[in-house]
Amino acid sequence: MTAPRFVDQLNEQIGNEFAAHQQYVACAIHYDSLTMPQMAAFFYGQALEERDHAMMMVKFLLDTDSEVRIPGVEAPETKFADVVAPVELALAQERRVSEQVFALTRTAREEHDFAAEQFMQWFIKEQVEEVATMNDLLTVVTRAREDIEAIEEYVRREQSAPGADPTAPPMAGA
């Protein structure tokens, strides 16, 4: 049986993942409105990843016969000062999600919930990658803030969509 404390935190995290999904959609729309198709596509892709993370969590709860509660989320930030601001927000968000993932893993460990702890290991790996990606992107957009074409070229070259991760947990509805 999955530890009730972990179930409560994971249900809260599902809301956090859906909030991140909406925030990344708002970032994508900002770049779309600036006619930056590479940045827009990157953030639309990030939004889908966050939605997928939420659905992985839903699937875990369903598979462990735990209650699934989908919490409401606050509206995302939709106004950005420039091309750098959405990436700054995204990096801060990824750092916050990393702390949330670490807290979930800590709870699983404290509760001796080995299945939950094993489930969280993939998310730890994912967060290391996400923070590194956003950190690199922030460096590029800060340096090239006046050269939109350089930003677009970097994203086109460096952020091409990788294939599906075969180690990822399954998703509900997939």
Mean pLDDT (whole number) for 24-41: 98
156-169 residue pLDDT tens: 999 876 677 888 89
Concatenate the DSSP letters of all residues of 155-171 into one string: HHHH-PPPPP-TTSPP-
Per-residue confidence (pLDDT) for residue 162, from 0 to 100 = 65
With cut-offs at 50, 70 and 90, classify the pLDDT of residue 1: confident
Residue of 153, 148, 20 whose CA lies nearest to 91: 20
CA distance 114 to 1: 10
Q: What is the pLDDT of residues 38-71, one digit of tens each?
A: 999 999 999 999 999 999 999 999 999 999 999 9
**Residue 15: per-residue pLDDT:** 98
Tell me the backbone φ, ψ of residue 100, rounded to 5 degrees: -65, -40
User: Which pLDDT band holds residue 173 (cuts at 50, 70, 90)?
Assistant: confident
**17-23: average pLDDT:** 98
pLDDT digits 0-9 by tens, 113-158: 999 999 999 999 999 999 999 999 999 999 999 999 999 999 999 9
Tell me, what's the pLDDT at 161? 62
Write phi, then psi, for 136 (nearest 5 degrees): -60, -45
Q: Determine the Cα–Cα distance for residues 9 and 17; give it in Å rounded to an integer.
A: 12
Q: What's residue 131's pLDDT?
A: 98
CB 13: neighbour CB atoms within 10 A?
A: 21
Q: Structure pTM?
A: 0.94
Taking domain 4-69+78-158, whether its CATH number is 3.30.2130.30 is answered by: no
Q: Is the pLDDT of residue 27 over 70?
A: yes
Query: Which of helix, strand or coil describes residue 21?
Result: helix
Q: Residue 157: count other Cβ atoms within 10 Å of its Cβ.
A: 9
